[in-house]
Structure 1
Amino acid sequence: MTTDRLARTSTFAPTRRHLLGLGLALAGTAALNLAPGLRLLRPAEAAAPDVAQKIADHFSAVKTMTGEFVQFGPKGEQTGGKFFLERPGKIRFNYDGASDFRVISDGQSVVILNKKLRTSDLYPLSKTPLKLLLDDRIDLSGGKVTGIKQEDDLTTIQLADKQVFGNSKITMMFDPKTYELRQWTITDAQGKDTTVMIFNTREGVNFAADTFKIDYTANRELNAKKSNR
C-alpha cells in the first residue's frame, strides 16, 4: 500500500460490512476471483509450496504481536487504529474515532462492538478467515493454498477453505526476506475486497489479562434489547 494511496484516501467511520471485511467475511455463494498476478495452483500442486510453508511456519512462531493498522474498504475508504495479537486465536482491533469500534477474538468467538450505537455482533471464530491467521500453527495442507506470487519485494499467498468460510478467501503478503506479514486482503463471497496493512509492529509483548475478553452477558443483553424494539 503506497504512501500516495494513503494520502488520497479519506478517513471514514467503518460500517458493519467494513468490519466484517477485516477478517470476518462469512460464507456465501459467489465464485472466488483470483487476485491479479497470482499463479493459480493446479490440483496436482495441492501440497503447499515450500516457500509458502516456510513463511507460514515463521508467522506461526510469532506468539504475540502489537502494532498499528490501516484498513481500506472496497471503495478505498480508510480507517485505522491499533491491534493486539496472541496465539492461539486471540486478536483485538481498536479503531480510531468517536464511534469507538472494537473487534475482539477470545479464541472461541469474535465480537464486533460499536459502543456508540450499543451494538454487539458475535460470530464463531472457526467460521472466519481470522482462524487461519490465528491458529497455533498455520496449516497449509489440504489444498488451502490456491495461488502464490513471488516478487523481489513481496511474496503473496492466497488461501481458501470452503469448510471454514465458504466462498470467501484471504490473500496475505509477506516480506520475502524476513517473512514478516505486511498486509492481508479479505475477499467476501460477493468479490468485494477489504485490505488491512500493519506497521510499527512489536513481537514478544505481554498483554493485560482482559485484553481479549468478550463480555458475553453484555452481548446477550444488548441483543435482547434490540430484538424487543
Structure 2
Amino acid sequence: MTADFVQTDRSGKTLTGKLTLKRPGKIRFQYQDGVPILIVGDGKALTFIDYSVKQVSRWPIGNSPLGVLLDPSKDLTRFARIVDTSDPRIVMAEARDPRHPEYGAITLAFAREPGAPAGLRLQGWVALDAQNNRTSVRLSNQRFNVPVSDGAFAWRDPRPMGPRH
C-alpha cells in the first residue's frame, strides 16, 4: 500500500509525507522536503533516522504501537478491541499489550469500503506512547496492491563510517 499522510503531534505541529507499506513488516515514512527524518521498518525492526544530528535508533517492531500493523506474528484478538463509533461506516480498533504498557497504544481507524482489502480502508491511527504523548496520522490517496520494491525500505546511514542499509 502507498498513501499520503499528515502526522500531527501532541503540540499540534503537522508534517506531511508518503507512506509505503509492504507486508509483512515493511514500512517507510518519507517526510516532506526539509524534514531530515526517516522512519523505516524492515520486517524485524523500526529504524528512526535523524539526518540533522546523524543519529540512528532501532527497536523491535513488536515493541512499537505500529507492531499491530506490521508484525505478522501478533494475534490481534489477544490485545485489541473494537471501539464503538456512532458511524456504521467506520471501524475503530484499539490495541495495547497489557503485558507491556511501555509499548504504548494505537487506535486504528478503518472505513468500510468494498474495494479495499478485507472491505476495510485504513484511514489512519492515533498512537499514545508510554508517556501519553499523542501522535495522529491521517492517510489519503491510499493505493492497495501496488508493486513496491524491497529497495523502498533501504536507507542511508548518516553516521560516519556507518553501514549501508
| TM interval, short-chain normalised | 0.7 to 0.9
Q: Deviations over 1:83-141 (max 9, x none)?
A: 10000110000000323311000011111112233221111212112111113376222
Aligned-residue Cα RMSD (Å) equals 2.3
- The one-letter code sitting in structure 2 at the alignment partner of 1:85 is L
TM-score (normalised: structure 1):
0.61
In the aligned structure 2, how far is the partner of 1:200 from the partner of 1:164? 34
Structure-1 residue corresponding to 2:31: 95
In the aligned structure 2, how far is the partner of 1:211 from the partner of 1:75? 30
| Ranges in structure 1 where 5+ consecutive residues have no aligned partner | 1-64, 223-229
Q: Relative contact order: is structure 1 or structure 2 higher (C-alpha 8 Å, sep ≥ 6)?
A: 1
State whether structure 2 residue 135 is matched by structure 1 residue 194: yes
Structure-1 residue corresponding to 2:116: none
- The one-letter code sitting in structure 1 at the alignment partner of 2:34 is A
State whether structure 2 residue 154 is matched by structure 1 residue 213: yes
In the aligned structure 2, how far is the partner of 1:219 from the partner of 1:118? 5
- The secondary structure found in structure 2 opposite 1:204 is coil
Judging changes above 3 Å, is the alpha-carbon distance between structure 1 residues 167 and 126 closer, same or farther for their aligned structure 2 residues?
closer
Structure-1 residue corresponding to 2:80: 145
Judging changes above 3 Å, is the alpha-carbon distance between structure 1 residues 112 and 165 closer, same or farther for their aligned structure 2 residues?
farther
Runs of 4+ in structure 1 over 4 Å off: 217-222
| Ranges in structure 2 where 5+ consecutive residues have no aligned partner | 114-118
Query: Which has more strand, going by share of residues?
Result: 2
- The one-letter code sitting in structure 2 at the alignment partner of 1:183 is G
Structure-2 residue corresponding to 1:40: none
Query: Which has more helix, going by share of residues?
Result: 1
Question: What are the equivalent positions in structure 2 for 1:26-65 lying under 5 Å apart?
Answer: 65=1
Asked if 1 retains the 8 angstrom alpha-carbon contact of 2:89 and 2:111, the reply is yes
Asked if 1 retains the 8 angstrom alpha-carbon contact of 2:3 and 2:141, the reply is yes
